[in-house]
Every structure is written in structure tokens, then in C-alpha cells.
Amino acid sequence: MASKRIEIGLILALVLMLVQWNGVRAQSGCTTALVSLSPCLNYVTGNTTAPSSSCCSQLSRVVASQPRSGY
């Protein structure tokens, strides 16, 4: 289970790095939603045992906005 969290955390970190690398461009809804979940990174990577309140509120916003990935 811990390896799955590490894998997800690394993927999230990679996406965040790619977004910054591309500079200021119009971001797709999925990218914006993913970046908005950065408060969850410590939880996803296993650095904390529970998600922070900011993680939970951001996740609620993403779920409410229902972004579509195109798949």
C-alpha cells in the first residue's frame, strides 16, 4: 500500500513539475484540478497519516466541479 502511495505521489510531483516547466500557459481543466490538489501531496506520499483540511476542501471543490479528462 505504501508503494502505491509513493507511486501516486511521484506521478503527482511529475505533473506539477511539468506544469511549472511549461510556464504560464492556459491550463486544461484536468491540469488545473490536479494542481489544485497539491495540499494533498504530503498525504499521498505517506508523509502524514491523514489528509489536511485544505486537502479535503480542495478535493471537495474538484469533485463539485466535475472536470473531465477527455477519456
Q: Would you say residue 71 lies in a domain?
A: no
Does residue 31 contact residue 17 with C-beta atoms inside 8 Å?
no
Q: Which residue has the cell 484536468?
A: 30
- Total structural domains within the chain: 1
Instruction: Please tell me the predicted confidence (pLDDT) of residue 24.
Output: 47
Which H or E run includes 12? helix 2-21
In a domain, 13, yes or no: yes
pLDDT reading at 35 higher than 80: yes
Mean pLDDT of 8-22: 72
Return mean pLDDT, the chain. Answer: 78
Whether residue 7 is contained in a domain is answered as yes
Domain limits at 41? 2-65
